[in-house]
Structure 1
Amino acid sequence: MGGGHVRTMWTAWLGLALVAGCGAEPAPPKPAVVRAPVKAARCFLKFPDVRAGHAARARLERDISRYVRDRPGRVVYGALDLVSGISLGQGEHERDFITASGAKVDILAALLHGSAGRLDEGERDLASRMITESDNSAADTLWSRVGAGGAMSDFYRRIGLKETTPGPSEYWGGTRTSPADRIRLLKVLINGGKGLSQGDRALVLGLMGRVMAEQAWGVSAAARPGDRVALKNGWTPRPFEGGTWAVTSYGRVVGPGRDLLLSVQTDHQPGEGTGIQTIEGIARLIGSRFDSLTPTTTRPCPTRPTF
């Protein structure tokens, strides 16, 4: 071979070697992705704080007692929450407070009990006016149709109202009762049994929930925004009791986490307005502070399982 040819081949081989060497060079490493550490959410458990609940209840009862002590006349009340089972009261078994128009719910419940819920159109109209408008003429008619005091005594015995006595003769407004029995009546209307069907109970509570606005005072003051209220109030002058007034209110206040039954009865009041103020003052104290009676405390979840 000629020298020129050898040099040409040598140059070609050298170029190939250089190219092969460049191709074999490793690619630069990719940067590693570094992730921030993730914090695990802490676990907590809620427990009833029994001690704090007892203390809150004692404070509320003390404050209500002070309030009642500064109000005129006689005042008694009872309260029961169907969700928590908590009850409050002062004089709740006093049975000599007249109901006045509060007895109209009793009349309708007795009418439904005796007729197995089969009311005619006229009776339904009378019932509606008696409860939503507190129409006394409608109450007179239905009181007579039920059988007046004798039949009402039997009705009270059948549904377990031991602290209620019907008014004499045609005077249904003279029915005497206790806050505890008003709450027992509400429980029957809510829970059923005692000869009242679901339809009967829905009718009574539905009418109590549609009481005309100017008569919706009283225990409704315990309601929070959005709560539903079903109530019946009573008010009457008492000319043979120094011209004083009897003013009463009882009903159900229902909302998130609460199904509160409340009855407040007053007597020997200087006027209707004073009685209403007293009732609403008690209802407002209970309604605004009832959640504090069931406080909770939190504790971390256990870190090791227990076997």
Structure 2
Amino acid sequence: MPRHSTRRSRLSLAMTAVVLLTGSTAGGAYLVDRASEAAPAAGAPVSSAPGASEEPEVDLDAELAAAVAPQAEGADVSVAVRAVDGGTGAVYGDGTYDTASIVKVDILAALLIRAQDEGRQLDDAELAYADAMIRRSDNTSATELLKAVGGADGLDAANERLGLRETDAVHAWGLTQTTAADQVRLLEAVFGTDSALTAASRAYLAELMGRVEEDQQWGVSAAGTTWALKNGWLRRTTTGLWDVNSIGRVTSGGRSYLVAVVSRGHATREAGIALVESVAKAAVDAVATPSGGGRTGTG
């Protein structure tokens, strides 16, 4: 049974580079402009002004644990959630998990950073690989793009710039180790504004995540009415059991949330999907409607 913990996530707030898009995501040139050197580094801490409210504080990590534990029923699962507008968030579980195919978001982010550094556009082959990797979860495309970013070492280097602190890349990319909290940091880099990714790069990645193929539109999408996501699933040969993960941004009740659910040990892929979806819904509900007034938690 995983234990919940309070984490200090680092929030992305400042505005960065201007959006510049040319061509099409299907095959034309895609221009990535350079990140502003004046922008704060990814993962810079943000503090809140004290004494802003006299409402009683609520421990959102505890709220999240109370909401998720009945859904988990002893399953090996961790979830992190953060409200996009106010930065309020919480984490349940602190273990490391196989990424399976959610690492494909990370790989594309690393490729876009490399293209930014080189002051160039993604070429047609990279665009085709990126589209297939995110929208269809194509494995060959992921392998090719991991090579393009310098392998596991290149991905680790990009993750330092993206503010990830608990993710360790490996050559067999599906076995990259990560935490739910780190996956929300990755989502902040994609959907926030203070990021090593330029506005153009973020828009491109978000657009692909919003158009995954129909049979892959499960997972954190269950927690909202609109979504942009990437899922991962992997049957471990050593145990025959399934890893099932889902990360993305969802909108619920007029607010947007970043949600990451990672899990393992499922007898079937379908059982893992059902758990991920129920945990995602419970997590968003816990942060959206805590039992008290003021909020404390990861922030």
Q: Bin the TM-score by the shorter chain.
A: 0.7 to 0.9
Over 3 Å counting, the alpha-carbon distance change for 1:283 and 1:200 in structure 2 is same
Q: Is the partner of 1:239 in helix, strand or coil?
A: coil
What per-residue deviation string (whole Å, max 9, x for no partner) do you get for residues 49-93 of structure 1? 834x7389855531322222x143x111111112233212211x4
What per-residue deviation string (whole Å, max 9, x for no partner) do you get for residues 85-134 of structure 1? 3212211x42x201111111111111110011610122111101100000
Q: Distance in 2 between matches of 1:154 and 1:56?
A: 32
RMSD value, Cα: 2.5
1:138 matched residue in structure 2: 141
1:200 matched residue in structure 2: 201
1:281 matched residue in structure 2: 278
Question: What's the offset of the Cα at 1:203?
Answer: 0.5
TM-score (norm 2): 0.73
1:236 matched residue in structure 2: 234
Over 3 Å counting, the alpha-carbon distance change for 1:123 and 1:294 in structure 2 is farther
Over 3 Å counting, the alpha-carbon distance change for 1:135 and 1:55 in structure 2 is closer
Question: Unaligned regions of 5+ residues in structure 1, if any?
Answer: 1-46, 297-307
Q: Is the partner of 2:276 in helix, strand or coil?
A: helix
TM-score (norm 1): 0.72
Higher CA-based Rg: 1
Supply the AA of the counterpart residue of 1:285. Answer: A
What per-residue deviation string (whole Å, max 9, x for no partner) do you get for residues 172-209 of structure 1? 11111111111111111122344321111100011001
Contact 2:164–2:185 under 8 Å retained in 1: yes
Question: Unaligned regions of 5+ residues in structure 2, if any?
Answer: 1-51, 294-299
Supply the AA of the counterpart residue of 2:186. Answer: L
Q: Distance in 2 between matches of 1:108 and 1:63?
A: 33
Supply the AA of the counterpart residue of 2:169. Answer: P
Q: Is the partner of 2:168 in helix, strand or coil?
A: coil
Contact 2:223–2:252 under 8 Å retained in 1: no
Supply the AA of the counterpart residue of 1:184. Answer: R
Over 3 Å counting, the alpha-carbon distance change for 1:210 and 1:49 in structure 2 is farther
Contact 1:49–1:294 under 8 Å retained in 2: no
Contact 2:190–2:202 under 8 Å retained in 1: yes
Q: Is the partner of 2:282 in helix, strand or coil?
A: helix
The count of corresponding residues between Structure 1 and Structure 2 is: 240
Question: What's the offset of the Cα at 1:216?
Answer: 1.0
Residue range with higher mean Cα deviation, 266-275 or 126-135: 266-275
| 2:110 is the counterpart of 1:110 | yes
Supply the AA of the counterpart residue of 2:134. Answer: I
Contact 1:221–1:287 under 8 Å retained in 2: no
| 2:216 is the counterpart of 1:212 | no
Contact 2:167–2:182 under 8 Å retained in 1: yes
Q: Distance in 2 between matches of 1:67 and 1:273?
A: 15
Question: What's the offset of the Cα at 1:147?
Answer: 1.2
| 2:290 is the counterpart of 1:293 | yes
What per-residue deviation string (whole Å, max 9, x for no partner) do you get for residues 216-249 of structure 1? 11111110xxx32011110000011x21111111
Structure with bigger helix share is: 1
Question: What's the offset of the Cα at 1:294?
Answer: 8.2
Question: What's the offset of the Cα at 1:255?
Answer: 5.2
Q: Is the partner of 1:163 in helix, strand or coil?
A: coil
Supply the AA of the counterpart residue of 1:244. Answer: L
